[in-house]
Every structure is written in structure tokens, then in C-alpha cells.
Chain A
């Protein structure tokens, strides 16, 4: 019953929510935190802020809104590796009036509705279907476990926070906090400005040299929303749709490679390369160079 770590990537997250049954929603990376960049996205449902978590400086800026928990999907983070999926659900499940969630998530939402936040987190951790979809993105790498990754690659320890508008209030949903954090009223039109100011304030809490973060936008499927745009000419539409199609193809291929087990290829490539270099009498020098390089990297 374990949750594996998955890569924080727009293509992974989009495929993940589609596998969960969500229709016409995509996740995109936000490269620049400014109002204009955010306005490029059609119908933003929420933003996910993921960063290298540091408990020392982790104090909320807004006010804890305990009363909101009756009406909001808010889950405490119980399973660490599930936090990306949990942040996605924190946005999606709070917009079920606008989003077709599909059966799995609709049922999960109904089932967990009356549970307190701890049990919501627990229920998420125990959901077989959600876990399987999540785990299907683990690298098919038979020799390394999530523990190894955590131990050798500290930078991978990220925390995910969801920012989303619910009933005209801007909320920060962080599974490590006791309650949703209320950042004040905010209309749909004000969302971009509000998000930029709240997230910038948050980032300002950290030493700029220390923090590594990523922002993801959860929005309406770009292609689907392009089709309904009436302000664009057919040529403009076709060009934009081609860009989206290409992005989808690239994501699909990247996910295919993520799921591939490369070990057989490494063995075969090694055999071919070693044989070629032995035949050419350059194998020993190749090996010595690589050994020297490893040794010099060890002692910087």
C-alpha cells in the first residue's frame, strides 16, 4: 500500500488526472509569476505551488479558516508521496460545479464529504484506484526504491500547496496546516492579481538562494477552450490547436519513456560499446578516463 514518488511535471499531472477520469482539464507549468502570464490560461481552476519544503520558515500568511472546512474539500497530508495528487484533488474537487470529475473522483468526493481533514487524507491514502493511477507514473526502475531517491537526492523533497478560488474567497490549501487559509475575498476576474500577490509574498519568506519552486496551473483543456473561442479566426484557431496537439504528443512520448524500463538497453548498449572499444583498443583508456573523472568528482 505504498505511494511512490512521481515526477513534478505538467505532462505527468495532466495524464494522471485524465486517468482518474477528469474531463477537459489540463495542468501546465507557469514559467513566470505575473498577471499577464496567468491571463494566458483559459478558466484557471487553481494554482499549485511546489517547493523544497523547509519547516523553519513555514508560517502561513493568511488566517486559518476553520469554519470553511464544512464546505471545502480540505485533507491533511497523511501520505507524503501522495502530496502532488492531493494538491491536484484539492483544486479539482472544489470545482466540481465546473469540472466533470468522472466517477472515481465524484464518488471519492461524496464518500469523504463528511470526514474530518485527517480522515480525508487517510481516505485518499487508502483509495486503491487513485493510488494505482498515481503509482503508474513511478519510473519502472527495478533497482532503486523511493527511499534511495529520498536519501540521495534531497532536492526531490518537495511540498505542494494548492491556491484556488472557492465561493469568491481565495484559499490556500496546505495539507500540513490545520485548516484552509483564507486570503480574503476574490472574484474570478481578480484571481490572477490575487494569486500573484499572495504567492510572491510567500516566496519572499524564503532566502532566494535557498528556495527552489515550481508553479503549475490547473485550467480548462486548452484545445477544448480554443474550439469555443469566437474572437479568433479559423486560421488562428488552427495554428493554436496545432501547438496544443504537438504539446500533447510530446507529453505522451515523455510519459511513455518514463514508464520504460531502460535496464535491458543499458546492458545491450554496454555490450556493443565495450566490444567496439576492445576491438579498437580504446576500452582501457575509456575506462581509466571514467574512473579518474569519478574520483575527481568525489573530491571537489
Chain B
């Protein structure tokens, strides 16, 4: 889901110099929140929105989007990292400059107002996204808390937001190494949806018909056909990784992605697979009369 999209181009460094030159290529700056709740800042060519050239996960208050005041001949902006020389530069391509300031303000509010500090949200990232954070870290030191607070203390007293968000990033990264498994209370879906739990159910009238649309192609429309599927190693393997994904940090976001409603008051110590089943239970209780 896109938060903001507007026309902008890139400023590229002239090799071997400190000069920046506007690239005439037409593009978009896009910000969006991904399925795991992470905020992305992207720049993509206008004919290739699917493959953004820049795709940076921005963390709360780690960077700002600012007008480049040194540039007097055009409308240049930068995604500025106080702790690094790796800032990214863009130029506005909207016909009029009426909205430039408000675009910048909106970008800054999206960067700043992420509720990463909220414990319920502090684990909003799956391992795959963690890896991405890790990679980003190498080129853009956005995830180096110590350096960022040191740098800002030279400018002035570090503001508390900055320290807290750095903490949040550190905590996020710490969860990668602590990937051994989910510590709180949860279940393994393999235990719930194992074939021996399903045989009685599958014998009930109408159940096979309800399941057929979700079966692999060419599955016979009968009990044997469905039993063969739920007993297959491929079913077990897919179920195992689905369960692991739900129980991974940020896995709860999968539940809403599946169109199920999350319990806002859910205990954050409950893993995604348990919350998934609770969301299913709420769903079937609500729809009990209508089926």
C-alpha cells in the first residue's frame, strides 16, 4: 500500500567529483508500508515502478527529507542521514512547485511517526526483512545506533526520539541472532492440521466440496483424493514453513494479510500461529449463524 507517490528524478554524482547533476530520467518517489509494517522509501523509473532503483527501509527519525538549500537553480531534495555521507539526492518533477513543501512534510512525518517503539509493533519484521535491514546497514549506516547518537551529540544534545529509535533498531537486529524460535506461548500448526486430526472432519458431509477449490489441480474430488494431499510430504513441508512464518517476528502481520481480523488486545507474548487460530475461532464464531 502506497503512502505517497509523486514525480521526482535523481541527482547523480559526477564521477570523481563532488558535483551532483540532475538525471533527466522521469521517475517517482514512493513511500509504502510493507506487509511486515516496515516503511520503505523508494525511487523508481516511471516505466518500471515494480523495480525501484532505490529501496530503503527507513526507521523512525533516523533520516530526514530536506530541501538542498545550496542548490539555487532547481528544486533539489535529499534523504539525509545525519550520521553518514550516504544521503540520496532527488529533484522534483511535478510541473508546479506548489506541493513540494507538503510532500517533504508528509515524507518526514511518515519517517518520524512510525510506532516502532510500541512493544506490540517492535517486532514487525520477518527474518527476510531483517536480512534486508542487515544489507542496508552495510551501505547506509542507518542501523548503527552508537554512531548516530555520537554524531548528533556533536551537533547538539541528542533528542530522545533519536536514541529510542536507535534502541528499537538495535532490538530489531538483536532478534535476528535470537532466531532460535518463538519464546512465548504458541503452537505448531503441524500439530493442529495433522492428518490424524482431519480424518473425522473430512468424512463429514460437504467438507470435501468446501476444500476442493483450495486443492492442487487434478486432485480427485473424493475422500481418498483429499487424504492423499493432507498426507503428502509437500503438504507437511508447506505447513511447517507456514507455521514457522507465523511464529517468526512480524508473523502476526500475515494474519491480517489473510483477511482475518487481529485482536488488538492480544497478548504480545502469544506467537503468530496461536493468534492465527484465535482469529480463525473469532471468525467462525461470528459466522456461525450464517452458514
**Does A pair with B?**
yes
Interface assignment of B138: CB less than 8 Å from any CB of chain A: no
Residues of A in contact with B, size category: 35 or more
Bound complex: CA of A289 vs CA of B234, how far in Å?
Answer: 25
Stretch at the interface among B9-17, B24-32, B66-74, B212-220: B212-220
CB-CB under 8 A for A274 and B284, given A148-B128, A257-B232: yes
Shortest CB distance A155–B (Å): 13
Residue numbers in B under 8 Å from A276 (CB-CB): 200-201, 204
Within 8 A of A (CB), among B226-265: 229-230, 232, 234-235, 237-239, 241-242, 244-246, 248, 251, 254, 258, 260
CB-CB under 8 A for A263 and B242, given A148-B128, A257-B216: yes
Whether A152 lies near B244 (C-beta < 8 A) is yes
Residue numbers in B under 8 Å from A293 (CB-CB): 187-188, 191
Whether B188 lies near A290 (C-beta < 8 A) is yes
Interface assignment of A147: CB less than 8 Å from any CB of chain B: yes
CB-CB under 8 A for A266 and B239, given A256-B218, A287-B187, A293-B191: yes
Whether B193 lies near A291 (C-beta < 8 A) is no
CB-CB under 8 A for A143 and B276, given A256-B217, A265-B215: no
Interface assignment of B186: CB less than 8 Å from any CB of chain A: yes
Residue numbers in A under 8 Å from B285 (CB-CB): 278
Bound complex: CA of A289 vs CA of B185, how far in Å?
Answer: 12
CB-CB under 8 A for A262 and B210, given A148-B126, A271-B280, A290-B191: no
Interface assignment of A254: CB less than 8 Å from any CB of chain B: yes
Whether A271 lies near B283 (C-beta < 8 A) is yes
Residue numbers in A under 8 Å from B127 (CB-CB): 145, 147-148, 151-152
Q: Contacting B277 at CB < 8 Å: which of A274, A297, A298?
A: A274
Bound complex: CA of A149 vs CA of B241, how far in Å?
Answer: 8
Consensus secondary structure, chain B interface? helix
Shortest CB distance A282–B (Å): 11
Interface assignment of A272: CB less than 8 Å from any CB of chain B: yes
A-B contact count (CB 8 A): 142
Residue numbers in B under 8 Å from A274 (CB-CB): 277, 280-281, 284
Interface assignment of A273: CB less than 8 Å from any CB of chain B: yes
Residue numbers in A under 8 Å from B193 (CB-CB): 266, 269-270, 273
Interface assignment of B49: CB less than 8 Å from any CB of chain A: no
Interface assignment of B207: CB less than 8 Å from any CB of chain A: yes
Whether B187 lies near A291 (C-beta < 8 A) is yes
Residue numbers in B under 8 Å from A141 (CB-CB): 238, 241-242
Which chain B residue shows the least CB distance to A7? B237
Bound complex: CA of A271 vs CA of B185, how far in Å?
Answer: 21
Q: Contacting A148 at CB < 8 Å: which of B189, B248, B254, B284?
A: B248
> Mask for A257-300, Cβ within 8 A of B = 1, else 0?
11010111111111111111010000100110111011101100
Q: How many of B's residues come within 8 Å of A, CB to CB?
A: 56
Shortest CB distance B176–A (Å): 8
Whether A257 lies near B234 (C-beta < 8 A) is yes
Shortest CB distance B194–A (Å): 10
Whether A268 lies near B214 (C-beta < 8 A) is yes
CB-CB under 8 A for A267 and B131, given A149-B241, A283-B281: no
Which chain B residue shows the least CB distance to A293? B191
Interface assignment of A76: CB less than 8 Å from any CB of chain B: no
Whether B239 lies near A262 (C-beta < 8 A) is yes
Interface assignment of A144: CB less than 8 Å from any CB of chain B: yes
Interface assignment of B181: CB less than 8 Å from any CB of chain A: yes
> Mask for A152-172, Cβ within 8 A of B = 1, else 0?
100000000000000000000
Whether A272 lies near B186 (C-beta < 8 A) is no
Interface assignment of B211: CB less than 8 Å from any CB of chain A: yes
CB-CB under 8 A for A266 and B229, given A273-B198, A283-B281, A298-B181: no
Interface assignment of B197: CB less than 8 Å from any CB of chain A: yes
Shortest CB distance B80–A (Å): 30
Bound complex: CA of A269 vs CA of B208, how far in Å?
Answer: 10
Whether A272 lies near B210 (C-beta < 8 A) is yes
Which chain B residue shows the least CB distance to A254? B234
> Mask for B168-190, Cβ within 8 A of A = 1, else 0?
00000000000101010111110
Interface assignment of A139: CB less than 8 Å from any CB of chain B: yes
Whether B192 lies near A286 (C-beta < 8 A) is yes
Residue numbers in A under 8 Å from B187 (CB-CB): 287, 290-291, 293-294
Shortest CB distance A280–B (Å): 10
Whether A148 lies near B244 (C-beta < 8 A) is yes
Bound complex: CA of A295 vs CA of B186, how far in Å?
Answer: 8
Question: In the complex, given contacts A257-B229, A283-B281, what are 12 additional A-B residue pairs having Cβ atoms less than 8 angstroms apart?
Answer: A256-B218, A257-B216, A266-B193, A266-B242, A267-B280, A272-B211, A273-B198, A274-B281, A278-B281, A286-B192, A289-B191, A298-B183
- Where the two chains meet, the residues of A that have a C-beta atom closer than 8 Å to any C-beta of B are 139, 141, 143-145, 147-149, 151-152, 253-254, 256-258, 260, 262-276, 278, 283, 286-287, 289-291, 293-295, 297-298
11 interchain pairs, CB-CB under 8 A: A144-B241, A144-B244, A145-B131, A147-B131, A257-B235, A260-B216, A263-B258, A268-B211, A273-B193, A291-B185, A297-B188
The 9 closest A-B pairs by CB, nearest first: A145-B128, A257-B234, A143-B245, A265-B214, A260-B216, A290-B187, A262-B238, A275-B284, A264-B214
